[in-house]
A and B are shown apart, each in its own frame.
Chain A
Amino acid sequence: MIETTSSASAELPLFPMPRASGCPFDPPPPLLERQQEGPFTRVSLWDGSTPWLVTRYAEQRALMADPRVSADITRPGYPSSAPVPPQGNTIGFILMDDPEHARLRRMVTAPFAIKRVEAMRPRVRQIVNELVDELLSGPKPVDLVEAFALPVPSLVICELLGVPYADHDFFQENSKTIINRDVTQEQRLVAHGRLAEYLDSLVAEKSRRPKDDLLSQLAERVLAGELTRLEAAQMGVLLLIAGHETTANMIALGTLALLRHPDQLAALRETDDPRLIAGAVEELLRYLHITHSGRRRVALEDIEIAGETIRAGEGLIFANDIGNRDPLAFPEHPDQLDIHRDARHHVAFGFGVHQCLGQPLARLELHIVYGTLYRRIPTLRLAAELDDIPFKHDGSVYGVYELPVTW
């Protein structure tokens, strides 16, 4: 079982831990040091529990795909980042195991199939170009997060789900609260309740007047008795939050990283080779790895791996940001951004049956953004000192709150 004595946990580093000052793109240095010592280490959590931290790429992939490892947040030993609410009304399928997970996930996979996502390319390109037009005709300097990085994925996910974009202030505010590590559990539950109520009323409306969108399809399943209204609303909340917070942060933080690596920005700006742009997308996903709170699981059985025994009931946290810097998986200077590297095997979207559902859409959006923004605004530059840029150290998704730019 997990060591819970206060003396044992007091000696262990508290996870998550802060990054080094002045290194906004690098994971916390003590974590990288632990990776050199071996694939497993123990960390201490907010509640005094001491789960395993899996630091290396190979063991992360093996265990994330292992059916003896559970994503069920209600199981004893699950290394939760906050107290688990007593009632299951905030639990989406990402915190469940098969067969329930597969049943619910398969209801929303169709729009994320490769051909369906590819068919969205012209519309996403139009959205991106119109937002760049607005940037170019508006005042400067401007906050790239508010004027571009957030609207791109927000417009795309709203169209896909069938959520009115006019409500974006409301759902972006609540979504921000839910993924903030520093808010109280009560604030998080209130924000979640507001979003669930909002999605529930949208699903009800779609069941009366269906349109060609994902919420209408979920409403149809509710009418057919395949899904409860609560499950439908939960899925809507999950997709709305996931569709926003990840891609928006990749756009803004990716732009900042490229501005700090001008030679690579120039290479990206001057190419029309879609393979180079696609390679840059993968490398920025690997290098920035914005989901820096780790993927969390609990062992269902004793598991022997790499000379270690993970006991049944012990918590596992996969530090995928560190896995993406593992020299055993990325041998050429993994701590450096190199858009020419083959980084396609990164674990920024996780691995196993819970791998990010929206990754084809995220890749499409990033491909269009990174291939458009710098070409159309070739003199794009920071309008603030790096030290003055507010980073999301307090978020379960990393990024910047603001990115003042000019051209």
Chain B
Amino acid sequence: MKVSLDQDRCVASGQCVVAAPEVFDQRDEDGIAVLITATPGTSDEEDVRHATAVCPALAIHIVE
């Protein structure tokens, strides 16, 4: 699995961080999401799918 994140779309809701804390974090200055890893391990895949589904800005995309 490969993950991409569109920071221009991000609205800093932080729900990706709650769903998949091993994969997403937020910038201190404005809460915009950042990718910790673009290629998460198998154990994080379900969490990433959940993060993608709950992201209100549709800013996360998965490339299988």
Contact = CB atoms under 8 A, between A and B. Distances in A.
A112 B12 contact: yes
Contacts, number: 60
A206 to B, nearest CB: 19
A106 B26 CA distance: 13
Interface stretch (A184-192, A283-291, A351-359): A351-359
Which bucket holds chain B's interface residue count? Answer: 10 to 19
Contacts of B57: 65, 352-353, 355
B56 A106 contact: no
Contacts of A357: 11-13
A109 interface: yes
A37 B23 CA distance: 41
Interface string B1-36: 000000001011110011000000011111110000
Contacts of B29: 110
Contacts of B38: none
Contacts of A359: 13
Interface residues of A, number: 24
A209 interface: no
B14 A105 contact: no
Given A105-B11, A353-B11, A114 B54 contact: no
A210 interface: no
B56 A115 contact: no
Given A109-B31, A112-B12, A352-B56, 13 more contacts: A106-B32, A109-B11, A109-B32, A110-B31, A113-B26, A113-B28, A350-B56, A352-B57, A353-B11, A353-B56, A360-B13, A360-B14, A360-B18
Interface of B: 9, 11-14, 17-18, 26-32, 53-54, 56-58
